[in-house]
Chains A and B, each alone.
Chain A
């Protein structure tokens, strides 16, 4: 009852019956709060208008989980952030040892980020296949990121074959660094196909 009394002290009826202002005598909506609002538990909006295809420059809405009180509503504006949910960084690697980029410490923290490699491009000489019985070996070429010693690392090379000593090759990649606040790195799904080229994954990732 006491709370209700406090509320009634400060509500102001606007020109249209049913409009309430808090901190304003001129409410512009059914409830107009001229200040901040804090909702301790659930929040429901029955009429949340969706973004249309003609809307531009909209911002995603975020909720800060370490504000005081917890839960300040903010917008995600990547111009204010050093780290966005998705970060795209180009890398080039030159003056390699033959074709071998065996292990480069990218230094990203796997507790905070997932690092994927994309846009791989190689510029330079070809790695030659070598005779193997009645045919030729092409080795196997690996482009991958992996976690080692608490950071993300990169490997790009033909593991079995090497570039000729007087040849050279440069590598270009784009790293996509995902912030784990928004993206989830699921545990690997390991499936043995038993020598078949067709099969079903041992599990379906939990995406719900």
Chain B
């Protein structure tokens, strides 16, 4: 009968606190069971006021580990999106493009000689003036019907800076070779 209740006469565990608990030192837990398939669960995080909170993704305005956001960019300059401001704060979040597609047939630039060009689309994010921007284009190509209104559908993954690191850019000169090596790994 070594069960202790604080605020309850019916302790269900060795110690049950019917209220809040505060620990000003360290806490060690000797036995954690692993999460099992079929368990519904949330992550625990610590707020800046030291309280332990759970990440409730089912709460539409609560925190998640990351967010998947699709952008439908309608009627850009033909297929060209030069600078689309998502308004997402670059100091607090990282935004990367995971996939993208454009919905109209394209043709190559109608300048003599350019019609032989090839075009590889690019879709990327960059930071300007403190917010994340999207750039997307088929260089040297555009809507074959210039009156048609095109749409880019761009899937992005948004991480909180609390969970991710931005390592900046590593430039690797390839010295004209097809294979090479990065100078140092970014993560050990």
Are the chains A and B members of one assembly?
Answer: yes
User: Which A residues are closer than 8 A to B by beta carbons?
Assistant: 2-3, 6-7, 10-11, 22-23, 29-30, 33-49, 53, 59-67, 69, 72-77, 79-83, 85, 114, 116-118, 120, 129, 132-145, 159-160, 176, 178, 180-186, 188-201, 203-208
Q: Indicate if B37 sits at the interface (CB-CB under 8 A).
A: yes
Whether B157 pairs with A193 at a CB distance below 8 angstroms is no
Which interface residue of A114, A207, A208 has the most chain B CB atoms within 10 A?
A207
Please classify how large the interface on chain B is, using the bins under 10, 10 to 19, 20 to 34, 35 or more. Answer: 35 or more
Cβ distance A87 to chain B, nearest Cβ, rounded Å: 13
Q: List 24 A-B contacts (CB under 8 A).
A: A11-B4, A40-B7, A42-B20, A48-B50, A62-B42, A75-B32, A75-B35, A76-B41, A85-B65, A117-B98, A135-B109, A136-B107, A138-B141, A183-B64, A183-B66, A184-B66, A184-B68, A188-B70, A190-B74, A191-B71, A191-B74, A193-B76, A204-B88, A208-B61
Q: Count the A-B residue pairs with Cβ separation under 8 angstroms: how many?
A: 321
Query: In angstroms, how far is the closest chain B Cβ from the Cβ of A148?
Result: 15
Indicate whether B14 reaches chain A with its CB closer than 8 angstroms: yes
Contacts from B to A (Cβ < 8 Å): 2-9, 11-29, 32-37, 39-44, 46, 49-52, 54-55, 57, 61, 63-77, 80-88, 92-93, 98-99, 101-110, 114-116, 118-119, 121, 138, 141, 144, 153, 155, 157-158, 160, 188
* Complex CA–CA separation, A123 to B42 (angstroms): 41
List 20 other contacts, CB 8 Å, given A45-B27, A73-B29, A200-B84: A10-B3, A35-B2, A44-B50, A45-B52, A53-B188, A60-B43, A63-B43, A69-B13, A80-B34, A114-B68, A133-B110, A136-B108, A137-B107, A138-B119, A141-B101, A183-B67, A189-B86, A192-B75, A196-B77, A201-B84
C-alpha gap A33/B124 in the complex (Å): 53
Instruction: Indicate if the CB atoms of B57 and A183 lie closer than 8 Å.
Output: yes
